[in-house]
Structure 1
Amino acid sequence: MNNAYGKEIAMTVIGAGSYGTSLAISLARNGANVVIWGHEPEHMAKLEADRANHEFLPGIEFPESLIVESDLQKAVQASRDLLVVVPSHVFGIVLNSIKPHLREDSRICWATKGLEPETGRLLKDVAHDIIGENYPLAVLSGPTFAKELAAGLPTAIAVASPDAEFVLIFKRRSIAVKHSASMPTMTSLACSLAAP
């Protein structure tokens, strides 16, 4: 394993706000070792000390398998699979920050919503411009609420990517998966994340 933690890391979540934290908690709760990174060192130190994100998700403790990391390079290189969960106005900035640290086998999924505010461009176009064509990309979306997801309540998400193998990673990290034909040129799966 090619990381600083001495164990296999299933996924690194880039973004430690309410939604990023809730996705990291959900993935870790399903038995995976997950790293979460955020850009504010003080916030990350508090997450590590409290083993919870009291600011955004009060009353929900981190699973033991959730690793808090304030070093971006370590976080990015910890896992092949990255899940970027940041606001759309910093999406491009964050991709530029992680790009120098990507592994040769990195795969990038994002749960960022909306368009690039300054240009109105689709985030997939922003990602292609910054990351290039050599890394598999995916989009995670769904009618999810951070607090409900973190609390382990049943919900559903969709993951879409032209790389079917990458999409199936979310099946292995989740409970159930169904195919959807809503995106003809993409592979789309609905992943149900429920409390174990």
Structure 2
Amino acid sequence: MSKRNVTIVGAGSFGTALALVLDTAGNNVQMWAREENIANQINEKHINPSYLNDIDLPEGIKAYNDLEQCLKSQDMVVFATPSHTLRELAGKLKPCLDGHEILVTVAKGIENDTFKTMSQILVEVMEGTTYEDNIGVLYGPSHAEEVGKLKPTTVVAAAYSTRTARIIQETFLTPMFRVYINNDVIGVEIGGSVKNIMAIAAGIVDGAELGDNAKAALITRGLHEMKRMGLMMGAHSDTFSGLTGMGDLIVTCTSTHSRNRSVGFRIGKGEKLDDIIDSMNMVAEGVKTTKSVRDWAIKNNVEMPITHAIYSVLFENVDPRDALYELMTRDPKDEIVM
């Protein structure tokens, strides 16, 4: 396999970890950093001073603060930015593309108001520049803290064409970073996004010391909720039993690396959301996704009780224990009803 020229747009924790993976896979890797200081430190000291600063980066990884400069003659562009910035950044780099590049997003979320997934945003923004067949996503249970240390990780490449999915697979594949292919783009994205809401819920359960029984129920019913939304949007049922469904849900709801679980944990301990967000230097995608999914569920008359409960805790100042009581005292249901 020949080397590919790959630019990672975003020098946060996951972008930094993926730069190391891509270099290990034999690619020529460049990074775009919003902060000039981070770009300079990567080039001069081969560390990212703000994210994963305990990991030495190979000298071959180059960083830029100039977006246009780092997009010259690239085969692949990887968006590793917060989901709410994707549309803006994609619009800025659109004039720098000639249409042949593979565009990959690793951001997880559902856009507020439009309810579009990340790949759908790219398709919309890039109309006339790159073909839909050149757009894909890379999702799965993959905390940056472990990916950056080359611990065993499995993820999913999903794209609108099998050719693009295979190129993504080949480009990222290493002995410790195994990439599977899935053609169910919407299912992969719904699973990878909605699980962040459930991770906030799981963190609340842990922070409020509500017990393992409650968390097991939360994860199980959360998967059901995720699947219900996905099927309404045309996803395949089996996707939610895979890495971007159950796999991502497990790791995000249980790991201490999970930013979304951490937000929930602190809420469960009595902290206010605004104070938690102000204290973090990374984005917990589940907060914004909760609003998007709750609004989508109302608009489409889809029952998503956990999402509604987390929305009430995050944005309506409902006490977590009161929200749990509401969930526990809902009308009795059959378990398997979609």
Match of 1:79 among 74, 98, 103: 74
Change (3 A) 1:181 1:171: closer
SS at match of 2:104: strand
- More strand as a share of residues: 1
Change (3 A) 1:139 1:61: same
SS at match of 2:154: strand
In structure 2, the residue matched to 1:37 is 32
In structure 1, the residue matched to 2:269 is none
SS at match of 1:11: strand
Q: What is the CA RMSD across the aligned residues, in angstroms?
A: 2.5
Please identify, of 87-96 and 111-120, the stretch whose mean Cα deviation from structure 2 is larger.
Answer: 111-120
Give deviations 1:69-106, integer Å, cap 9, x for gaps: 22211212231211111001111011011101012312
Contact 1:35 1:78 survives alignment (8 Å): no
In structure 1, the residue matched to 2:97 is 102
Distance (whole Å) between structure 2 residues aligned to residue 172 and residue 151 of structure 1: 20
Please identify, of 124-133 and 105-114, the stretch whose mean Cα deviation from structure 2 is larger.
Answer: 124-133
Structure ID, larger Rg: 2
Give deviations 1:102-160, integer Å, cap 9, x for gaps: 12312211000111235432222221221116331001101101011011101011110
- Cα offset for 1:9? 4.7
Contact 1:83 1:108 survives alignment (8 Å): yes
In structure 2, the residue matched to 1:25 is 20
Change (3 A) 1:110 1:180: closer
In structure 2, the residue matched to 1:55 is 50
Q: Which has the higher contact order (CA 8 A, sep 6+)?
A: 1
In structure 1, the residue matched to 2:157 is 159
In structure 2, the residue matched to 1:114 is 109
Contact 1:32 1:65 survives alignment (8 Å): no
SS at match of 1:115: coil
Distance (whole Å) between structure 1 residues aligned to residue 65 and residue 4 of structure 2: 16
Give deviations 1:21-72, integer Å, cap 9, x for gaps: 1111111122211111112222212222221113210221111321112221
Unaligned runs of 5+ in 1: 1-7, 191-196
Equivalences, count: 182
Change (3 A) 1:83 1:93: same
Matched, 1:129 2:127: no
> TM-score, normalised to structure 1's length?
0.82
- One-letter code aligned to 2:102: R
Distance (whole Å) between structure 2 residues aligned to residue 10 and residue 97 of structure 1: 20
- One-letter code aligned to 1:18: S
Contact 1:29 1:63 survives alignment (8 Å): no
Contact 2:157 2:182 survives alignment (8 Å): no
Matched, 1:67 2:65: no
Distance (whole Å) between structure 2 residues aligned to residue 179 and residue 104 of structure 1: 23
Distance (whole Å) between structure 1 residues aligned to residue 97 and residue 151 of structure 2: 33
Contact 2:105 2:137 survives alignment (8 Å): yes
Unaligned runs of 5+ in 2: 188-233, 244-338
Contact 2:32 2:70 survives alignment (8 Å): yes
SS at match of 1:22: helix
SS at match of 1:78: coil
- One-letter code aligned to 1:56: Y
Change (3 A) 1:179 1:121: closer
SS at match of 1:91: helix
- More helix as a share of residues: 2
Contact 2:136 2:158 survives alignment (8 Å): yes
Matched, 1:16 2:14: no
